[in-house]
């Protein structure tokens, strides 16, 4: 059994100020990784598409972009269950990976902080519910 250390969904708010996709998050990941010694690559994702991976000391932080039809329904459920401002959202980034030694914790936090600064994301964790919301 693996533990998903990061388990973070960055849900793109309806009416976001920019167009977000895998290219956008790859640029952000490269900026963040450049100061911490992590490498960034694109890899195939299952069942299809690609993901961005930050790697360091054998640990990976995987970032997926998802705008499949089920995302809208799941975002509406999160809005209902957690009173989150994501009703009508149709896309999200998923950040996950097993990192028991917290090798990439700073990179994860920096990516989330930079995304939060845009004002275009709602952060959710299946383990913890809404995250970073009390800081706004």
Domain locations in the chain as residue ranges: 8-135
pLDDT, average across residues 35-60: 92
The predicted model gives 91-113 an average pLDDT of: 93
Whether 38 and 110 have beta carbons less than 8 Å apart is answered as: no
Q: Average pLDDT in the 94-101 region? A: 91
pLDDT of residue 134: 61
Segment (H or E) for 124: strand 121-125
State the architecture of 8-135 in CATH terms.
2-Layer Sandwich (3.30)
Please tell me the predicted confidence (pLDDT) of residue 53.
97
Tokens of residue 8, six digits: 């973070």
Amino acid 136: pLDDT: 43
Helix 105-118 vs helix 22-36: angle between axes, to the nearest 10 degrees? 130
Average pLDDT of the chain, as a whole number: 92
């Amino acid at each position: 059994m693996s533990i998903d250390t990061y388990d973070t969904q960055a849900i793109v708010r309806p009416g976001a100020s920019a167009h977000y996709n895998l290219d956008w998050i790859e640029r952000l990941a490269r900026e963040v990784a450049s100061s911490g010694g992590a490498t960034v690559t694109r890899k195939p994702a299952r069942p299809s598409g690609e993901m961005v991976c930050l790697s360091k000391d054998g640990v990976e932080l995987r970032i997926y972009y998802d705008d499949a039809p089920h995302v809208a329904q799941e975002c509406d459920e999160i809005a209902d269950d957690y009173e989150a401002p994501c009703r009508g959202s149709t896309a999200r980034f998923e950040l996950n990976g097993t990192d028991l030694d917290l090798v990439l914790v700073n990179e994860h936090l920096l990516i989330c902080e930079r995304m939060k600064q845009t004002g275009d994301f709602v952060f959710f964790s299946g383990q913890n519910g809404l995250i970073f919301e009390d800081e706004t």
